[in-house]
Amino acid sequence: MAKVRDAVHWDAKYAATDRLWSATPNVTVAEVVEPLPAGRALDVGAGEGRHAVWLAARGWRVTAVDFSPVGIERGRAGAVETGADVDWVVADVLDWAPRPGTVFDLVLVAFIHLPDDVLARARRWLAPGGRLVVVGHDLRNLTDGVGGPKNPALLHTEDEHRRTAEGLAVERLGEVLRETPEGTAIDRVLVARAPEEP
């Protein structure tokens, strides 16, 4: 698990190639977020910034947090190319918190597996009516899908997503099949909405 949470490891992965991930958003992220009215968004574990740049291009005011300086620099470069305005933060999301009083209409956790306590804090960062969107590889992907981490501790389950959504209204919870050149990947999605009034 240490390697996954190691900024030096991820800096090396990002530096070894022009782009580790696609520049386009994940299909499920796009499908869930596109109908939402733009507001203030937080991209947790933003990596190279594909979701942050995409959100900003659609009018969202975005804060993107990742512990990899190389990933954040890639994101900044992508934002400059597209004219997207993003607040880039190099920080470990395990310890980071927004400025007091800052809340978000969207907290996006895409393809990063965070401990329950961090997800509980992320729920508190939601504005009234704001949405928590968690998309990642499902545990079943290990046996029935392709790609993704091979460590079960880094994969999502329905029970984990139910715990994550405690106190929120679940709008979507389930598996998503994603076609890749290597075959079908099995992802899991959670969309949960904060109460309108705290």
Torsion of CA 175, 149, 51, 170, to 10 degrees: 30
- Structural domains of the chain, ranges and CATH numbers in brackets: 7-193 (3.40.50.150)
Which pLDDT belongs to residue 5?
60
Which pLDDT belongs to residue 1?
36
Q: Phi, psi (5° rounding) for residue 76?
A: -60, -45
What tens digit of pLDDT does each residue of 141-191 get? 999 999 888 989 889 999 999 999 999 999 999 999 999 999 999 999 999
Which pLDDT belongs to residue 64?
98
Which pLDDT belongs to residue 161?
96
The SS3 call for residue 27 is helix
The pLDDT averaged over each successive group of 10 residues in the chain (198 residues) is: 56 63 82 97 94 97 94 89 92 93 98 89 96 96 93 92 96 96 96 90
pTM: 0.89
Specify whether the CB–CB gap between 78 and 53 falls below 8 A: yes
* Tokens found for residue 37: 């009215």
Which pLDDT belongs to residue 81?
85
Which pLDDT belongs to residue 123?
94
Residues belonging to the chain:
198
* Tokens found for residue 94: 């395990």
* Tokens found for residue 78: 């992508």
